[in-house]
Chains A and B, each alone.
Chain A
Amino acid sequence: MTDVRVDDVAALGRADFGPTVSGSVAPCRAACPVGTDAAAYVALIAEGRLAEAYDVARAHNPFASICGRVCSAPCESACRRGIVDAPISIRALKRVLAEHHGPEAAHGSRWRRAVGEVPPASKPSVGIIGAGPAGLAAAHDLRIAGHAVTVYESASEAGGMLRYGIPTFRLPREILAAEIAAMVDLGITLRLSCVIGRDVTFTQLLNTHATVLIAVGCQQGRDLHAPGANLPGVERAVDFLRAENERLANRGESDSALAEGPAVVIGGGSVAFDAARSAWRSRRPTAYDGQAGLDAARMARRGGDRVVTMIAPEERAAMPVPEEELHEAVAEGVALYPAHGVVRIVGTERVSGVEIAPVRALRREEGRVVPELDLERLQLIPATTVVLAIGQRSNTDFLADTPTVTRTPWGGVTVDAELHSEDPRVWAAGDVATGPRDLIDAVAAGQRAAASMRRWMQRAHPVEVGTAATETAAMAANMPSVPGSPPLEHDTRFWSGYDVLPRTALPVLDTTRRDARAEVEQAWDVPTARREAARCLRCDEHMQFAVDRCIVCALCVDVCPQTSLALLPAPPGGLALVFDDDTCIRCGLCVARCPTHALEFALAPAMSQSGLPFSRSPEVPHA
């Protein structure tokens, strides 16, 4: 992951797809904060080896099932297939894996069964504040390493923003519960409804545990600095989503707290989309337990769906949400005003509308993006409710008595690159350390914090922690083996039309049947998943070239459909075979045509199991 080359590719007239390949890990893997080997599991899916694929997907990510549904999928943004047409639907493929082998599968988590007995909690105890993705990811890693782990959660259930932020129609609560249960089952002590500073003080935590991780996230919505922002009817998205999720969790048939009438959501991030789509659903009756979905007659009596408008400062293409999510929001009837900003919120006793104007330019001021509005083109959007999704801040008031931990102006904790705070025994990970980020960033932060804590504890408590060698052995004995990428099946390339296959659309619930609970996105069946996976260009396979076998016939250069190969003069007398990693579609024609087997696709030496390039090429006599 370290030697990924990031060029200024745009300057060369190419599309900017982030990290390029160049003999290193595949771009999808390089883009994943937790380093999931997406290329490997996509290739395994294409070959129908779903169980092994799940092992690969789960190896780096304890939230594999959840990520399969709600990950922001930076892997897809980096996917090189995007150069040809559209990226592989990596996230949707992971979901298929999770459904077959994750904790939600009929026979339980394949990973959990492979892990078997977790080592006893013999190592120094760790306290983690917050059972969100960062805290649970850290707890997971530390518990497997043999530490006693206690997670303190202020809410009545674990999950953090996964439970109280992300709506049910994107992440069914059974999936969330199953995934968290599989983690807690490792032997993590979970203390729910335990508010630090009320039930336990932070100092008590420091006295109880060897180290403490703060992973409380960003739970408070930011306020809007515009006239009328204090009018009744202006709500923060995090509060609205929390109320909505709690209402659904209580199986309440009661209506949403949101007032009647049209709603305006301000913001263009995933929280804004969740809020807008939840607001749209909030007037729809909710079906429970197999009861038929929406009743058209009841809908009609209520006067149709709520009118929801989104005001986002970004251009539509620049919105930091997956294309599918944007598409579904629009399909549900959310009116989108991209590149618009709020001038003021209109109303006397209560909100009656929002005055907006197009964004002329976005300026950066002290790290915050400030839109510059074109005030000559004002527009009034009528609304009885305004939902603010313009950022969040942390609440770390429980640290008020702990002067050793420095806090940021927005309530976060100041940490170094190792996520270590200024107190030697306190770490912070996730949104509380970085500000609001995506789920997968939080998971990665939790893992990094866990690794950092283990290193520190190893130094501070060498006897208790044990030697690195025994620890590695213990880990190896308990972790399922991670298979390397399977060899590229060139036959597949020869016979399939993988290079013309379009990105497969995800099956979604019809908009008329959507309510606050029903999951919108559906899973593919296995043949469809294999078809989508077959589109992968296999960036993890690298071109290998045996110079001593080359007879300079240039047939590989001739046959390459992508003009990825060239033979160029290399003074002082020699010819260089030059390869373009960015355009190669791994069709294997060059390998097939080479008369001396001088070319080969192989896993990068560091990642292949044998570590030997050309292990699969036949011996060539006289070459």
Chain B
Amino acid sequence: MPVDIPAEVLSNTRLSPDYNVVALDAPDVARAAAPGQFVMIKTAPGLDPLLRRPFSIFEILRDASGEARGLSLLNKRVGVGTSLLYDARPGDRLDCLGPLGRPFVPVDPPAQAWMVAGGVGLAPFVTLAEALAARGTEMTLFYGGRSAHDLYHAEFFEALGARLVLTTEDGSRGERGRVTGPLARELAALPADTAATLYACGPTPMMRAVADLGTAHGHPSFVSLEPVMGCGMGGCYSCVVRVTRPGGTHLVRSCIEGPVFDSSTLIWDALQGGH
């Protein structure tokens, strides 16, 4: 059951000229959130911009007793809404509707979880990693960015016990190149009797490559999509993606049937943009 609250900005941590993390006081949303769900944020009061923006829930913020009291958003400045969120100030109130969408289903041991993140696509994996750690599932994070200062929060995953495989396009941290390079190599090296589930979020070409690699090596993959969304509630039909269903292909609303999809059902040629 989603709720809509005027969430106070607790902090705005600038990570770079493009990236920031906004912490929101939103206990009712945080308590109900499942891994990979999202919220719709009104990035400024008033009529311009008119619509809310979807953001993956990044971290669940807990008090000393472990009680969820807020959540954070990993933001990359690309347009009007994300620029406003980059400039959010502590004490501002941002309307926050959520939690929304179909979550990731964390895989149980002995299967392994391989998370693949590109840039701001890291956002849904903090909550997933926590759920995986609680199950004792062995996990790896493949995390790629343009350069070292695009890679954040890797130590958090390490602390949860995840193995890290980092890549940068300029070679300033980890392996030089795209994150799908080491992923392809490691999938090829994985013993045939080892089950692994892939989870991906990032640019559409990256997610597609991950899905193709999963298929080639016989591992299921789940991707978190983020198309343009008007409402997040299934009302507007603007966020549709094409999927295979019994009887043919259909355009389905990614806000309520996603944002997480079994990638084997997606018609990738019909997908555009993303992040």
> Is B a genuine binding partner of A?
no
